[in-house]
Amino acid sequence: MAIRTIITDEDDILRKKSRVIDTFDLKLHQLLDDMCDTMRKADGVGLAAVQVGILKRVVIVEVDDVLYELVNPEIIERSGSQCDMEGCLSSPNVYGDIIRPENLTVTAQNRDGKVYTIKASGLLARAVCHEVDHLNGVLFKDHTDDLYTLEKREN
């Protein structure tokens, strides 16, 4: 396990579309383990593989101390809406109020390729949407014209 470098949003790789995973090998397991270490060290709620320079459809999300490993995730159902402050480890110190669905149904594969489905709501739904966006080259700040720093907001 190792900490990898998080790429920031001046790098165009974050605009590229990630590729489907078809090999569930040790290399994938190591990537997932490293992503977990990297996300936790940075105090994040989620991380997409592209943020550590790997253009593969792999994301992790950790909410309420539950870690979700989502390989080839697909959001198959969305309902409701929520608006809350959102940021990204690739855009340090920049935040926006972003509208997301309140509830999602997501299918994904686990690290061994087994397909599973989760229902997500609230922060988990927000985090999954954010990370799946990364797989398609979309950043949270594309969803708002009003970005702010926390210092600015508190004043």
**C-beta of 5: minimal distance to Co ion in Å?**
15
**C-beta of 113: minimal distance to Co ion in Å?**
25
Residue number with CB closer to Co ion (24 or 36): 36
Distance CA 51, CA 8 (A): 8
Residue number with CB closer to Co ion (61 or 88): 88
Residue number with CB closer to Co ion (88 or 132): 88
69 assigned to active site: no
Residue number with CB closer to Co ion (60 or 108): 60
Nearest CA-CA partner of 72 in 107, 29, 46: 107
Nearest CA-CA partner of 49 in 94, 85, 109, 7: 7
Report whether 88 contacts 76 (CB < 8 A). Answer: no
- Is 94 exposed, middle or buried (CB count within 10 Å of its CB: 0-12, 13-18, 19+)? middle
Report whether 90 contacts 7 (CB < 8 A). Answer: yes
**C-beta of 46: minimal distance to Co ion in Å?**
7
Active-site option among 10, 69, 131, 151: 131
Residues that bind Co ion (CB under 5 A): 88
Q: Which residue has the tokens 């995730």?
A: 73
The residue whose Cβ lies closest to Co ion is 88
**C-beta of 133: minimal distance to Co ion in Å?**
8
**Active site amino acids:** 131
